[in-house]
């Protein structure tokens, strides 16, 4: 099965996108709600948690690991790759590759949490994918709490988005990477404020496309995964509250059964 982990519920936008694009491969999701968020924690702590999560998913039968969390992708993906045999796909590479492909003027914006932006991983990977591009980053740490509060369409959120996005508009970007799994839920607010001509790169959708391509190129693993076709997708969490249930249902458009495990 495909194992996906995130620090919380945000990564469910990745699981949802994979489910829609690759319905033949069953999913195992783990959201580390008991220790969320990772973005404000140290690299050492994030790597430790990411190893716990990967161990759990492998024990449950995952044969491919998708890191749906930007903080864990930027901080822990190298450590995981050197430690495990199973393929480890991070949520950053597909979006940066896509951004490098679609930009016309070579000016790309990236928004994310403070930890993601501080890591510098997006500019680095975009420039690896296409040298000569210019990347402009903006940390938008209030967007996750605003989404989680259900304030996605409020006037305060518009003002805060305008403040965050204004410096990127001035840089005349033509492509904007949504470098956080919560941000797809704000697309309708981000689009009008960054400008119609700017292409939005949704890292959840790009991750799903990448999973499909990766499996198309790895026939042995693909056949292995197809053996479980028809098995139910399972969603594990290290803690559960009403708000988590509501956000999960909002992302999937249906109620999601969350199975609680201890970490």
Task: Enumerate the active-site residues.
Answer: 69, 180
Q: Which helix (H) or strand (E) holds 190?
A: helix 187-194
Helix 155-170, helix 187-194: angle, nearest 10: 40
CB 41 → a copy of itself: shortest distance, Å? 5
**Which helix (H) or strand (E) is 137 found in, with range?**
strand 134-139
Site residues for a copy of itself, 84-123, by CB under 8 A, read 114
Instruction: Decide if residue 163 touches a copy of itself (CB under 8 A).
Output: yes
Sort strands 107-112 and 258-260 into parallel, antiparallel or unpaired: unpaired
* Residue 50: half-sphere exposure toward Cβ, Cα within 13 Å: 31
38 closest CA partner among 30, 49, 28:
49
φ and ψ of 4, to 5 deg: -130, 130
Which C-beta is closer to a copy of itself: that of 4 or that of 9?
9
Among 36, 75, 116, 203, binds a copy of itself (CB under 8 A): 36
CB-based contacts of 133: which residues, under 8 Å, 6+ apart?
A: 100, 103, 106, 107, 108, 126, 127
Q: Which of 239, 246, 250, 252 binds a copy of itself (CB under 8 A)?
A: 239
- 6/19 with CB nearer a copy of itself: 6
Question: What's the CA gap between 207 and 18, in Å, rounded?
Answer: 8
Q: In the complex with a copy of itself, which residue's Cβ is closer, 33 or 91?
A: 33
What is the spatial distance between Cα 257 and Cα 255, in angstroms, rounded to a whole number? Answer: 7
Is 249 an interacting residue with respect to a copy of itself (CB under 8 A)?
no
Rounded Cα distance between 35 and 59, Å, is: 20
User: Could you say whether residue 246 binds a copy of itself (CB under 8 A)?
Assistant: no
| Residue 243 in the binding site for a copy of itself (CB under 8 A) | yes
- 22, 41, 127, 250: which one binds a copy of itself (CB under 8 A): 41
Give 231 or 243: the residue with its C-beta nearer to a copy of itself.
Answer: 243
Tell whether residue 66 is a contact of a copy of itself (CB under 8 A): no
- Computed over its alpha carbons, how large is the radius of gyration of the chain? 18
| Residue 22: CB minimum distance to a copy of itself, A | 31
Least Cβ distance, residue 117 to a copy of itself (angstroms)? 13
The piece of 35-43, 102-110, 218-226, 227-235 that touches a copy of itself (CB under 8 A) is 35-43
Of residues 190-209, which lie at the interface with a copy of itself (CB under 8 A)?
Answer: none
Q: Measure the CA–CA gap between 58 and 5, rounded to whole angstroms.
A: 11
**Site track 121-160 with a copy of itself (rule: CB under 8 A), x = hit:** --------------------xx--xx-xx-x---xx--xx
Under 8 Å between Cβ of 68 and 8: no
Residues of this chain that bind a copy of itself (CB under 8 A)? 33-36, 40-42, 45, 114, 141-142, 145-146, 148-149, 151, 155-156, 159-160, 163, 239-241, 243
């Amino acid at each position: 099965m495909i194992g996906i982990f995130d620090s919380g519920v945000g990564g469910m936008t990745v699981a949802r996108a994979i489910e829609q694009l690759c319905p033949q491969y069953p999913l195992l999701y783990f959201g580390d709600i008991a220790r969320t968020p990772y973005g404000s924690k140290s690299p050492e702590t994030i790597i430790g948690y990411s190893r716990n999560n990967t161990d759990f998913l492998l024990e449950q039968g995952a044969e491919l690991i998708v890191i749906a969390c930007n903080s864990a992708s930027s901080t822990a993906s190298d450590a995981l790759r050197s430690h495990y045999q199973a393929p480890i796909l991070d949520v950053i590479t597909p979006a940066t590759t896509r951004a490098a492909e679609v930009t016309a003027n070579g000016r790309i914006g990236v928004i994310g949490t403070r930890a993601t932006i501080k890591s510098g991983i997006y500019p680095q990977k975009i420039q690896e994918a296409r040298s000569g591009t210019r990347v402009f980053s903006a940390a938008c740490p209030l967007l996750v709490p605003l989404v989680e509060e259900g304030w996605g369409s409020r006037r305060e959120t518009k003002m805060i988005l305008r403040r965050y996005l204004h410096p990127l508009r001035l840089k005349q970007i033509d492509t904007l990477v949504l470098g956080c799994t919560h941000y797809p839920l704000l697309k309708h607010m981000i689009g009008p404020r960054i400008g119609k001509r700017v292409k939005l790169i949704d890292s959840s959708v790009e991750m799903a496309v990448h999973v499909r391509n990766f499996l198309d190129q790895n026939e042995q693993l693909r056949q292995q995964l197809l053996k479980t076709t028809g098995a139910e997708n399972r969603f594990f969490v290290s803690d559960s509250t009403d708000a988590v249930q509501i956000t999960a249902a909002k992302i999937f458009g249906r109620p999601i059964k969350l199975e609680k495990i201890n970490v």
